[in-house]
Amino acid sequence: MPTPYDSIGQSGLQFFGKVSASISHELKNVLAIINENAGLLEDLTFAAQRGSAIDPERLNRTAQNFLKQIHRADEILKNMSRFAHSVDQFNLQVNLHELAGLVANLAGRPAAMRKVILEMAVPQEPATLTTNPFLLENLIWLCLDFAIAATSAGGTLSLTPERTDSGICLHIAGIDKLAEAFPGQMPEGYDDISAALGASLVPDFSKNALTLRLA
C-alpha cells in the first residue's frame, strides 16, 4: 500500500530529474556557443596565416563571447552545486529569498520556453525559517510550474518573500489565468509535500496572486 512518503519520494525524483535535465541542456547550449566561437577563431587564425589582416574589433568580440559563456557556465554550475547540496541536511535554517531565488534560476529555462519572465524581489526584512531545504525547493518548483503554465506568454511572475506577524510566506504575483487554473491544475505531488511541510497555498483572484504560507 503506497504511503505519502512514496508520493513525496516520487515527486522529489521527478524534480531532481527535471532540474538535472534543464541544467544539462543549458550547459550544452553554452558549449555549442563556445564551439561556434572557437570555429570563428580558427577562421581568423587561418586568414592571418594567409596574410590577411585581423580585425581587432572582431577578435575582441570573439574573446568577449568566450568570457560571457564561461561566466554563464560558472553561474549554472554554482546553482547546480547549491541545488545538489540541498539534500545534505533534512532540517536546516534557510533564507527564503536565497532559496526561492535559486529555484527561480533553476526554473529559468522552463519559464523562457513559455516566454514568461521570473523576477525575484528582495524582502523588507530577512525571511528565515527552519525546514527541509530540498522539500521546500520542490514545493516552490511545483508552485512555479503551476504559475508558469497559468501565465500568458509575455507575462512576468514576481516572487516576493515576506515575514509577517503570522509567519513566513512567499507571494507569487502575475498569474493572469489563476481563476481558471486553481486549484484543479496544481501539479501532482503538491498536496503531499505541502502537508509534510505544514504549508498552505492561498489564492487572491483579484490580484492574480498566490501566497505560499510556510511558517
Domain 90-213 is classified in which CATH homologous superfamily?
A: Histidine kinase-like ATPase, C-terminal domain (3.30.565.10)
Query: What residue spans define the domains of the chain?
Result: 4-85, 90-213
H or E stretch covering 145:
helix 133-149
Q: Model's pTM, two decimal places?
A: 0.90
The dihedrals phi and psi of 194, each to the nearest 5 degrees, come to: -65, -35
Three-state SS at 3: coil
Provide the residue-wise pLDDT of the chain in tens; the chain has 215 residues.
445 457 788 899 999 999 999 999 999 999 999 999 999 888 888 888 888 887 888 888 988 999 999 999 999 999 999 999 999 999 999 999 999 999 999 999 999 999 999 999 999 899 999 999 999 999 999 999 999 999 999 999 999 999 988 899 999 999 999 999 999 999 989 999 999 999 999 999 999 999 999 97
**Could you give phi then psi for residue 184, rounded to 5 degrees?**
-60, -25
Long-range contacts of 49-54 (CB under 8 A, 24+ apart): none
